[in-house]
Amino acid sequence: MSKIPLDWTGLKKEPFHKMLVDMSLRHDRMTAVLTNFICRTLPSGSSYIEYDFALNSIEILDQCISDSIVNTPIYFILNPGANDVVDQDMIAVKHSFHKGISYHFNHLE
């Protein structure tokens, strides 16, 4: 048996690198890995992951846009059965964004 070519325990000290390795090796666990990274790394990270059940999806998206700044991209992880693209288009119109110009959708598969 050969030695693993990286100091795996050292990755605990570098959360971003650990996330990249985890996502590379287990792409099926991407949502869990990204959620864990956000909760542990960002200040008040769990507030970005857990949302208020009193709000509907459009209100949540609207709040995300209001809380964001132009230099920070917003990533959405889509769930089966959700119609987030339509909701995002509605919010974009409200904030005077133009599809393909001031906001974009990138579909990762």
Provide the mean pLDDT of the chain.
Answer: 77
Read off the tokens for 81: 């059965």
Domain identity same for 45 and 87: no
* Per-residue model confidence (pLDDT) at position 47: 77
Distance separating alpha carbons of residues 102 and 17, to the nearest angstrom: 31
* 82 pLDDT higher than 60: yes
Amino acid 9: pLDDT: 75
Using CA atoms, how far residue 101 sits from 66, 96, 104, 105, in Å, is 19, 11, 7, 11
Residue 6 confidence (pLDDT): 66
pLDDT in tens, 14-58: 888 888 888 788 888 888 888 888 888 888 888 777 766 777 777
| Residue-level pLDDT at 106 | 65
Number of domains in the chain: 2
Residue 22 falls within a domain, yes or no?
Answer: yes
Same domain, 20 and 31: yes
